[in-house]
Amino acid sequence: MNSCVVKQKMDQSYRVSIRARVLLMYLFVSMSSGLLYSSYSNAQSLDADDEEALFELYGDEDMISVATGMRQSIAKAPAVATVITAQDILTMGATDLDEVLETVPGLHVARNNFGYAPIYTVRGIYSNYSPQVLVLINGIPITNLYNGDRNLIWGGMPVRAIARIEVIRGPGSAIYGAEAFAGVISIITKSPDDIEQTTVGVRTGSFNTKDGWILASDSWGETDVALTLEYHKTDGQDEKIDADAQTELDAAFGTDASLAPGPVNLSRENLDVRFDATYQDLRFRAGLQRRRDFGNGAGVAEALDQHNRYASDRRNFDLTYHNATLAQDWDLTVQLSYLDTSQEVEEDLIIYPSGVNILGEVFPNGMVGNPEVYERHSRLNVSTFFTGFERHQLRFGAGYYLGEIYKVKECKNFRIDPLTGFPIALGGELVDVSGSPSVFLEEGDRQNRYAFVQDQWGFIEDWELTWGVRYDDFSDFGDTFNPRAALVWSTRHDLTMKLLYGRAFRSPSYAELLIKNNPAIIGNPDLDPEEIDSLELAFDYRPVERVRLGLNIFAYRWKDIIQYVANVGAIGSTAQNSGKQYGKGFEMELNWQVTGELDISGNFSYQDSEERPEDGTAKSDAANAPQQQLYLAAKWRFLEIWSVQSQVNYVLDRARAEVDSRSAVDDYAVMDLTLRRISNNGNWGAAVSIRNLFDSDAREPSLATGSIPDDLPLSGRSIYAELDVRF
């Protein structure tokens, strides 16, 4: 049941030529090198005035904790990171997490054909469910066992309850373990301190979209509490697909079953609730992400279906004890968390529509399969900081994780012939195969015990070495050992340089290990985890108070890539550790406060990655990931109560997979515009946002089979208006 742009070519004047890229990089490195040389003799003599200037330059909004677990300046953090605040999100007019992440250098949000689930593509690392990117909510992973993703029925994440987002590009397994591979996305939700007034808001717009939210906080004696509630309902964008997988089957078998041309199926009804309570050293948080009426996008097998609907409930809680003064020089945190998550079928999942003929097997009511997976995840983490040694800040941690697929359900109207591997029709009725040998996945669990150590060592004035190692022992595929090291040099109060090395791993998902009775893909219990080694050189330069420049240069080797490899002499594919990928590139960033009312920001990313198959065949460009991305934004505040932000996102140069004979995916540029008004007394606000202002034909790559030849269309022009009241 598993499955895995853009049509308008941009004018050549919009492209960044190779010569221009080289020139930009040369100028930036030359500038940084010159600064390095001129400041070397002063590097050991930073005085009190420099320290004060340092605070003025970086400020509180540029503090980050995801890199080490301790808050520190983003410029000095031993990682390449981006911080996005609630105010940033509000100004850009984003309504969903993915719209925010698309602004991060080197990160592109592609789309899966099933439900248009996000594919977080970092520095050329692309795969169908993006299990190589770890997503944390309040420091806790939300990874599912089944596909290693956030849940197939993700349905997006609203942003009103988000206080800040911290993103690391590059490995993070030395701290966070599995899936902190290509990057870490850390989402911090709003605490009682972040909600100063009760807020009620509504939004309406294109595609019959209706949103509402409530944010409130209070104090009950010594306990501070916060509650956020967000509701979202939409018919979903309805761009049309001209041909699909069933179109091919119709041509092969003389049928007329395809629903193409037809629109994608992206309806949603979401409810997100979060509760936060703090009492002295204790903090309790609970949440519900409820998904209903979830349309399956372009179809699970890239065959259109307007009938299917999925559902999901994700319930979580965590209890955290944090004592910063437990004993002299010791800071202790203990956290217990629980997550229960499901992938359920509301209306039959029609893999291929009524009348489909598959190798002589006719399905009058369509080929139907209804897989459901229920999981629970329990975690206990203990970590402590020790500052008793001069110039050292040590962190120790250990923990235990238990993940369980505790229920698997499936009903379908076909079975798999054990001799041929082809589907055989079971007649018109659905047959419940739950708990039988014919089910697609067995129930089971995964346990993980781990320990890590980290040392931030200021061994010389203005130099800091951060090193760490983490050991993980998994019950189903063995153990891993992942180191990291970061050398940070505060060359001057306005220039920081970093040299970073890290190793990370990605554990095989349950589907990759154990899926069965599927005509397309089969699991392999002998898989090894994927591994990556990464090296980075980063510069953070703030020549004046209003300007920040950044340059990050990286290279990596990704090995033991888990892919589904075609079976010899039989249909379908089996999961294998197959091939390597080598990547290199750079990211440039600019933040410029031109005046007190005008801000300009942007970033340019370039990556060159190539795949090298294990069988020694010719190497090829890594598929589907953009080689170039350009993001530009301008924010203007005027008449004290108004702001307008315009932003444009260019996505360029996406190659096809080696087995895909189609031409490269088309480039696209999308421009958004948001006008916002906030009254002087802060009691109400309003905004109008236009997404894809010029109605660009933007598309993300479909599967390499080319079953949808023209790729997956993104939304055309859309408009939204909102109003919120604070009291």
pLDDT digits (tens, 9 = 90+) for 577-614: 988 999 999 999 999 999 999 999 999 999 999 998 76
Residue 617 binned pLDDT confidence (cut-offs 50, 70, 90): low
392: tokens are 């050292």
Residue 639's pLDDT is what? 86
Higher confidence at residue 319 or residue 49? 319
User: Sign (positive/negative) of CA torsion 256, 258, 262, 268?
Assistant: positive
One-letter identity of residue 466 = T
Residue 101's pLDDT is what? 98
pLDDT, mean over the chain: 89
- The angle subtended at Cα 612 by Cα 607 and Cα 615, nearest 5°, is 170
Distance CA 694, CA 672 (A): 9
pLDDT digits (tens, 9 = 90+) for 675-723: 999 876 778 999 999 999 999 999 999 988 889 999 999 999 999 999 9
Is 60 exceeded by the pLDDT of residue 301? yes
Higher confidence at residue 523 or residue 44? 523
Distance CA 83, CA 610 (A): 30
Residue 696's pLDDT is what? 97
Which of these ranges, 12-21, 323-332, 463-472, 710-719, has the smallest mean pLDDT?
12-21
Is 60 exceeded by the pLDDT of residue 126? yes
Distance CA 283, CA 318 (A): 8
One-letter identity of residue 563 = Q
pLDDT digits (tens, 9 = 90+) for 398-442: 999 999 999 999 999 998 887 777 888 887 789 999 999 999 999
551 contacts 588 by C-beta, under 8 angstroms: yes
Distance CA 258, CA 255 (A): 9
Query: Over the range 534-573, which residues count as b (16 or more CB within 10 Å of their CB) and which as e?
Result: bebbbbbbbeeeebbbbbbbbbbebbbbbbbbeeeeeeee
Residue 680's pLDDT is what? 65
Residue 18's pLDDT is what? 36
365: tokens are 């009511």
Residue 501's pLDDT is what? 98
Residue 618's pLDDT is what? 66
**Mean pLDDT throughout 112-138?**
96
462 contacts 491 by C-beta, under 8 angstroms: yes
256: tokens are 């007329």
**Mean pLDDT throughout 145-154?**
94
Is 70 exceeded by the pLDDT of residue 74? yes
pLDDT digits (tens, 9 = 90+) for 178-219: 999 999 999 999 999 999 999 999 999 999 999 999 999 999
123 contacts 106 by C-beta, under 8 angstroms: yes
Distance CA 66, CA 262 (A): 44
pLDDT digits (tens, 9 = 90+) for 19-62: 334 333 333 333 333 333 333 333 333 344 444 444 444 455 57
pLDDT digits (tens, 9 = 90+) for 528-582: 999 999 999 999 999 998 999 999 999 999 999 999 988 887 778 999 998 899 9
**Mean pLDDT throughout 59-88?**
86
pLDDT digits (tens, 9 = 90+) for 365-400: 899 999 999 999 999 999 999 999 999 999 999 999
Is 50 exceeded by the pLDDT of residue 4? no
Provide the percentage of residues in the chain whose pLDDT is more than 70.
91
Query: Over the range 577-588, which residues count as b (16 or more CB within 10 Å of their CB) and which as e?
Result: bebbbbbbbbbb
Higher confidence at residue 416 or residue 85? 85
pLDDT digits (tens, 9 = 90+) for 467-482: 999 999 999 989 999 9
- The angle subtended at Cα 170 by Cα 169 and Cα 172, nearest 5°, is 110
Distance CA 260, CA 390 (A): 69
Residue 616's pLDDT is what? 60
